[in-house]
């Protein structure tokens, strides 16, 4: 099973992100946007996991969720990974709530480290909204990103983390919730 641990976005936040995506789709860019129902903040990507490890993952998530209280995140700023010559990913940043996300991610890495060892780097919380497939109209895309770099979508409350499964298809990934864990 291909698994990851994430924070889901509220429906209200998804609607705001759809409006941002509309501004980015007006320029005939070669971008594959993330489906609204798949938008999330990744805490830890586990990759392919054998089913007999699921029980252990559940117990770790139960334990980790009890160590953290609910918190607010502010979604602010648009940017990209890659370089101005080759943009790979377009993302929305996390302002308020960053330290909480990083702390949860580090705790997950510590307790689930046997899964994908050496994968943890400095965690930069973000929401991937699109993957750039080619450099078509790259300069115009860079201008659009620059115009939206200070966008502020507001805050949302985080009180649940989820273990999710990702099934890859030709049309894109399909995510399903395996189990939710309420923060204390």
Res 107 pLDDT > 90: yes
Q: How far apart are CA 102 and CA 158, in angstroms?
A: 14
- In 3D, which of 90, 65, 64, 67 has the Cα closest to residue 79? 90
Q: What is the pTM of this model?
A: 0.90
The pLDDT assigned to 2 comes to 94
Q: Mean pLDDT across the chain, nearest whole number?
A: 90
The pLDDT assigned to 74 comes to 97
Looking at 16, 126, 162, 164, which residue is catalytic?
A: 126
Domain boundaries, the chain: 2-182
Residue 126 among the catalytic residues = yes
CATH hierarchy code of domain 2-182: 3.90.1140.10
The pLDDT assigned to 118 comes to 44
What value does the mean pLDDT take over residues 13-38? Answer: 88
Looking at 40, 123, 162, 164, which residue is catalytic?
A: 40
What value does the mean pLDDT take over residues 52-56? Answer: 94
Which residue did the predictor score with more confidence, 25 or 101? 101
Structural contact between residues 127 and 13, judged by C-beta atoms closer than 8 angstroms: no
Res 27 pLDDT > 70: no
Q: What is the C-alpha end-to-end distance of the chain, expressed in Å?
A: 28
Residue 40 among the catalytic residues = yes
């Amino acid at each position: 099973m291909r698994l990851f641990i994430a924070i889901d976005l509220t429906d209200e936040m998804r609607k705001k992100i759809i409006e941002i995506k509309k501004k980015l789709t007006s320029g005939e860019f070669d971008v594959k946007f993330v489906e609204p129902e798949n938008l999330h903040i990744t805490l830890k990507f586990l990759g392919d996991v054998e089913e007999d490890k699921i029980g252990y993952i559940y117990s770790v998530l139960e334990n980790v969720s009890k160590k953290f209280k609910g918190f607010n995140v502010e979604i602010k700023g648009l940017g990209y990974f890659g370089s101005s010559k080759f943009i790979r990913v377009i993302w929305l940043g996390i302002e308020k709530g960053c330290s909480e996300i990083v702390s949860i991610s580090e705790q997950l890495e510590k307790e689930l480290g046997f899964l994908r060892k050496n994968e943890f780097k400095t965690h930069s919380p973000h929401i991937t909204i699109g993957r750039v497939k080619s450099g078509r109209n790259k300069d115009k895309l860079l201008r659009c990103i620059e115009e939206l770099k200070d966008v502020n979508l507001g805050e949302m409350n985080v009180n649940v983390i989820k273990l999710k499964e990702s099934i890859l298809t030709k049309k894109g990934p399909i995510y399903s919730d395996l189990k939710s864990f309420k923060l204390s």
